[in-house]
Structure 1
Amino acid sequence: MKIGYAALLMLALAATASAQAGEDRPAEKLVRERCHKCHGLNGESSEPEFPKLAGQNVDYMTRQMANFKTGVRKSTRMKEKVEDLSGGEMRALAEYFSAKTLVPERSGRTELIETGRRLYFSGHFEHGVTACTTCHGPLGRGALYLPRLAGQNVQYLVAQLRAFRDFSRTSPNMVMHTVVENISDAEIDAVAEFLSTME
C-alpha cells in the first residue's frame, strides 16, 4: 500500500513526538551537541557547502528535518542528526535558528549580481525559466514551507539548484524541477550570487 507524502510526514512527526520518554531536550543543548559544527551556534554555517539556518522559515526547517528523518530528502549525515528527535524538538530547533539574525554575503561581482537580479525577478522567458520571486517573494524570504533564499551561501545555493535540475534532489510537488529544468550553469551562478547578497 502506498502512503502519500503528507501522510508520511504526519506519521514521522507523530512517531517522533511519542518516541522519547520525558521532556524534550532544550534547543540550545541540541545545537551545541549536534548542529553547531556545520551550521554554527547562531545558524551562520561554518563552511559554504552547508546552509545558513539563521532567519530561515520555521515551518520549512521543521519539514526538512522530518524529510531527512523519513528519507524523503537524502542525507546520511542529517538523518543521523535528526533520527532521535521528537516533533517538539524539531520545531524548537527551527524556532531557535529562525530567531537568529542572518548576515548576507558580500560580493564585488557587480555584473554577475545584476544578471542574477534580472533572473530572480523576471526569469528567462525564452529559456522557459520562471522568475524566482513568484514563489520566494520579492525579498527572497519565502513563506511557510518555502525557504528563505536571501543571504544564503553561494556554494550551497548553486549545489541545490543543480541538484534540482539534475534530479539528484527531489521535491514532492516537483515544482522546483520544472522551474529549473532549462536553467544554465551560468544562470545558476548568477542568481545564487545575487541571492547571497540579499538581506
Structure 2
Amino acid sequence: MLVWLAACPLAAGAADYPEVDLQRAEEISAGRCSLCHGAQGESSTVLYPRLAGQHYQYIAKQLADFQSGRRKSDTMASMVQGLTPEEMLALGVYFEKKPTRARMATDKQLAAVGEFIFQRGNEFSGVAACASCHGERGLGSPQLPRLAGQVRQYTESQLKSFNSRERTNDNAVMHSIASKLTELEIKAVALYISALD
C-alpha cells in the first residue's frame, strides 16, 4: 500500500515527500535497522548514528552507497542487500518523519569551543565553519546531513574516518576539513552538535 504524504515541514524548509510505502519501510526497519538504530531511529548505542529527522534523500543516498560499495561497511553492506531504490527512499522518509530531541551537553566549556568551531571555524588552521554547509542550527539539506542531535561518539568517529580517508563517499570537502581538526576540536564539535535540535 502506497501512502501519499502531504507537504510537511522539513528540517531545513518545507517540501513534499515522495509517494512511498511507509508500511514496508516500517517492516524493514523492524527487521534490519532497529537493533542498531533504535525503533524510532534514535540509535540504540553510541556506536551508531541517529537516523530520526535525517533528510530522506541523504538516507536513501547513503543506503545506495553502502549497497554499491562506495561507502564501506561490512555490517551495512549485508543490511542493504536486496533493498530496492524504492525501499531505500521509503526508509529515508520513514526516518525523517521520526521526532528528534535535544541532548544536554555535559561539559559546557568544551561545548562552547565546539560552538565556536561550528559557527566560525578556525581561521588560524584553515578549518571552515561547519555552519557554512550544514546550517547555523546543523539541520543540513537534502544533500548534506542533518548534524543536530547526532550521537557524539559517532560524529567523532566519522570525522576521524574522513581524516584517515576511510570514509570513501561524500569526502572531497570533508577530507580537507577533518585533516585540519585537532583532537580537542573534534571532541568539542561533536559534543556541541549532539546538543543541537
Q: Fold-level match, TM-score > 0.5?
A: yes
What amino acid does structure 2 have at the position aligned with 1:31? S
2:8 maps to what in 1?
none
**Structure 1, residues 60-111: CA drift from partner, whole Å, max 9, x if none?**
1000000000000000110111110001100001100000011222222100
Runs (4+) of structure 1 exceeding 2 A deviation are 170-173
- Contact map agreement 1:48 1:153 (CA 8 A) in 2: yes
- Contact map agreement 1:104 1:151 (CA 8 A) in 2: yes
1:79 aligns with 2:83: no
- Contact map agreement 2:65 2:169 (CA 8 A) in 1: no
Q: CA RMSD of the aligned region, Å? A: 1.4
1:180 maps to what in 2?
178
Q: 1:78–1:191: structure 2 CA closer, same or farther, 3 Å change rule?
A: same
- TM-score, normalised via structure 1 length: 0.86
1:149 maps to what in 2?
147
2:193 maps to what in 1?
195
- TM-score, normalised via structure 2 length: 0.87
1:125 maps to what in 2?
123
What amino acid does structure 2 have at the position aligned with 1:182? K
Look up the SS of the partner of 2:128 in the other structure. coil
Select 1:115's aligned residue among 113, 116, 121: 113
* Structure 2 Cα separation of the partners of residues 152 and 98 of structure 1: 13
- Contact map agreement 1:139 1:150 (CA 8 A) in 2: yes
What amino acid does structure 2 have at the position aligned with 1:110? K
* Structure 1 Cα separation of the partners of residues 99 and 83 of structure 2: 24
What amino acid does structure 2 have at the position aligned with 1:171? N
Q: Higher helix proportion, which one?
A: 1
1:18 maps to what in 2?
none
Residues paired across the two proteins, number? 177
Farther-moved stretch of structure 1 (136-145 vs 168-177): 168-177
Percentage of matched positions with identical amino acids = 40
* Structure 1 Cα separation of the partners of residues 99 and 148 of structure 2: 12
- Contact map agreement 1:119 1:132 (CA 8 A) in 2: yes
What amino acid does structure 2 have at the position aligned with 1:117? E
Look up the SS of the partner of 2:180 in the other structure. coil
- Contact map agreement 1:104 1:152 (CA 8 A) in 2: no
* Structure 2 Cα separation of the partners of residues 44 and 144 of structure 1: 19
1:57 aligns with 2:84: no
What amino acid does structure 2 have at the position aligned with 1:76? D
Structure 2 residue ranges without an equivalent (≥5): 1-20
- Contact map agreement 1:104 1:196 (CA 8 A) in 2: yes
- Contact map agreement 1:105 1:153 (CA 8 A) in 2: no
- Contact map agreement 1:24 1:88 (CA 8 A) in 2: no
What amino acid does structure 1 have at the position aligned with 2:37? H
Deviation at 1:59, TM superposition (A): 0.7
